[in-house]
Amino acid sequence: MNLYDRIPNNVNLSEDKRLQRALEKWLPNFLSWWHDMGPEGFQEKDVWLRTAIDVGSEGWAHFDYVKMPEYRWGIFLEPAQPDAKVGFGDNYGQPAYQEVPGEFRNALRRIIVTQGDTEPASVEQQRLLGHTCPSLYDLRNLFQVNVEEGRHLWAMVYLLHGYFGRDGRDEADALLERRSGNPDKPRILEAFNQPCDDWLNFYAFTMFTDRDGKYQLSALAESGFEPLARTCKFMLTEEAHHMFVGDTGLSRVVKRTAQLMKQNPDEDVRALGGIPLEIIQKYINFWFSYSLDLFGGEISSNSADFFAAGLKGRFKEQDQYKDHVAAEGSYTLMVVEDGKLVPREVPLRNALNEILRGEYVKDCEKGLARWNKALADEGVNQRLYLPNVRFHRHVGEYAGRHFDLAGNLIAKEEFERRKTVWLPTVEDREYVRSLMKAVTEPGKIANWIAPPSTGIKGKPFEFEYVRL
Ligand SMILES: [Fe+2]
Ligand SMILES: [Fe+2]
């Protein structure tokens, strides 16, 4: 097999023997990780997947039946921009960095490793879901997400191997050694250590946690370190499908729940094998709050340093802002002082995590509006909502304190008393799990979710997306 078939790429890998050797050494370790930690029980099946074979509009959306271990994980960067410049921060307007600037080396490596760690983590979290798929269409979407997260790992490992020498290679190895949820060698970020063992979790995860990925990648797509910017731009095209899976998945669950509510005189969907809206709301509360943590502290000197260095910009930095230096200006956010919530003004650059989080929240709200429209369309009056950003946080200003869903500061005892109403309980999770029985006949769907309005890439819902 030639090099391009082993490692498809548009980075002239064949001309860089050192990098080629390093990646070829890493490849079997990746495959053995995929074998151990990738989707369990379906490795030999034909799955109708899209594969990136180039970054052009035709190339990256190539659809065919593939066995997952034979998926062509490749290295694809958006084409380089001639005369690319650092787009923000203290070095604004200077030529973009083609190599890692020595003074930013540690910061950049940390950014890339943290992003890279999330990719295999989510595959690990989702590895058992295939056994309980609600339809072949959903099973295929799960595997599509999984193989693309595998490719995202490749994307970050390429940067580590290509630009960070020895310690980059060590970090690339460590990415295959940590394990989601393992107390001895956990993944770096907490959302990626949470179990994702039923399909309601999966949809909420791809809606809220993959969407954090969109905002992190968008901020890094602005980076003055050009290889990182070009890598992230291409990853974003894949990420869109992951969020589609989550957003439409939840929408379909909500729709089905609404239909079942209308069928039962007491609106009791449990009696009809559906998922009650209260449980859906709790899953939203859980994954939204964990995903908010991924943006980091509200007041952050790291965010200021990364921005000053031109490494991590704001969301749509070039399109949305005129002042790319952002050295002046301030931002007001709520902090807890003497047991009370009070406003505090901080320098703009120290509030960039919070500003990015705000963009993310706005985006999530659009999803909620779509799901609420599904409720309205079915004639149900109840509505779903996002909890306040202070609710159930483990990182930043609000960690270690307690807030209700509206963001009011409350005592720990009150939180403990009410948390079973706000967050999934063991019984809720068991109930949801009890509904998860695989439906694998083409065109059939589980009772607790509505079918999608269309299939994938022009194929009907009845298409045999996975040959079992
Ligand atoms: Fe990803
Ligand atoms: Fe993703």
Do residues 53 and 60 touch, judged by C-beta distance below 8 A? yes
Which structure tokens are listed for 399? 């960690």
Tokens of 182: 């393992």
**Cα 341 to ligand 2 centre (Å):** 35
Residue 173 CA to ligand 2 center (angstroms) comes to 21
- Ligand 2 center from residue 417 Cα (angstroms): 35
pLDDT at 254: 98
The answer to whether 146 and 38 have CB atoms below 8 angstroms apart is yes
Overall average pLDDT of the 232-250 stretch: 94
Ligand index nearest the alpha carbon of residue 155: 1
How does DSSP assign 214-271, residue by residue?
Answer: HHHHHHHHT-SBHHHHHHHHHHHHHHHHHHHHHHHHHHHHHHHHHHHHHHSTT--SGG
Q: List, for residues 396-438, the tens digit of each pLDDT value.
A: 999 999 999 999 999 999 999 999 999 999 999 999 999 999 9
Kindly give the distance from the C-alpha atom of residue 145 to the centroid of ligand 2, in angstroms, as a whole number: 6
DSSP 337: E
Average pLDDT, the chain: 95
Does the pLDDT value for residue 296 go beyond 90?
yes
Report the separation in Å between the CA atom of 348 and the middle of ligand 1, taken as the mean of its atom positions. Answer: 29
Report every protein residue that has its C-beta within 5 angstroms of ion ligand 1: 119, 149, 152
Residues 346-355: what's their mean pLDDT? Answer: 96
Taking the centre of ligand 2 as the mean of its atom positions, its distance from the CA of residue 141, in whole angstroms, is: 12
Which ligand is closest to the CA of 211, given by its number?
2
Give every CB contact of residue 58 below 8 A, 6+ residues apart in sequence.
none
pLDDT in tens, 91-119: 999 999 999 999 999 999 999 999 999 99
Greatest pairwise CA separation for the chain in angstroms: 70
**pLDDT tens figures, 113-164:** 999 999 999 999 999 999 999 999 999 999 999 999 999 999 999 999 999 9
Residue 146 Cα, ligand 2 centroid: separation in angstroms?
Answer: 8
